[in-house]
Amino acid sequence: MIKATTLALAGAAMLGLSSLVQAAGSGFPLESPNIDVGNERSLQRGARTYVNYCMTCHSLSYMRYARVAQDLGIPPKMVEDSLIFAVDDDGKPHKVTSMMESAMSTEYGKQAFGVAPPDLSLTARSRGEAWLYTYLKSFYLDEGRAGLGSNNAVLKGSAMPNVFWQMQGTQAPVYEEHDDGQGHVSKTLVGFEPVTAGTQSAQEFDKTVTDLVNFLSYAAEPGQERRRSMGMWVLLFMLVFTGLAWVLKKEYWRDVH
Ligand code: HEC
Per-residue confidence band for 20, with pLDDT thresholds at 50, 70 and 90: very low
β-bridge partners, 62: none
The span from the CA of 52 to the CA of 93, in Å, is: 15
- What pLDDT shows up at residue 83? 83
Per-residue confidence band for 130, with pLDDT thresholds at 50, 70 and 90: very high
The span from the CA of 191 to the CA of 74, in Å, is: 38
Higher-pLDDT residue of 18 and 257 is 257
When the pLDDT of each residue in the chain is averaged and rounded to a whole number, the result is 88
What is the DSSP secondary structure assignment for residue 161, as one 8-state letter? -
Higher-pLDDT residue of 110 and 89 is 110
pLDDT in tens, 84-104: 877 777 778 888 888 998 888
pLDDT at 16 over 60: no
Q: What is the dihedral of CA 112, 194, 135, 40, to 10 degrees?
A: -110
What backbone phi and psi angles, to 5 degrees, belong to 150?
A: -140, 160
Nearest alpha-carbon partner for 170 in 130, 147, 137: 137
Closest approach atom of ligand 1 to CA 135 = 29
Ligand 1 is surrounded, with C-beta below 6 A, by 53-54, 56-58, 113, 115, 117-118, 120, 123, 127, 132, 135-136, 155, 158-161, 163, 212
pLDDT in tens, 164-193: 999 999 999 999 988 888 888 888 999 999
Tell me how many helices (H) and strands (E) the chain has.
Answer: 10, 6
Q: Tell me the domains of the chain and their CATH numbers.
A: 27-247 (1.10.760.10)
The most confident of 2-6, 87-91, 92-96, 151-155, by mean pLDDT: 151-155
Smallest CA separation from ligand 1 atom 33, residue: 54
Spacing, Cα 231 to ligand 1 middle (Å):
34
- What pLDDT shows up at residue 187? 87
Q: In the chain, where do the E strands start and end?
A: 60-64, 99-100, 139-141, 150-152, 169-179, 185-197
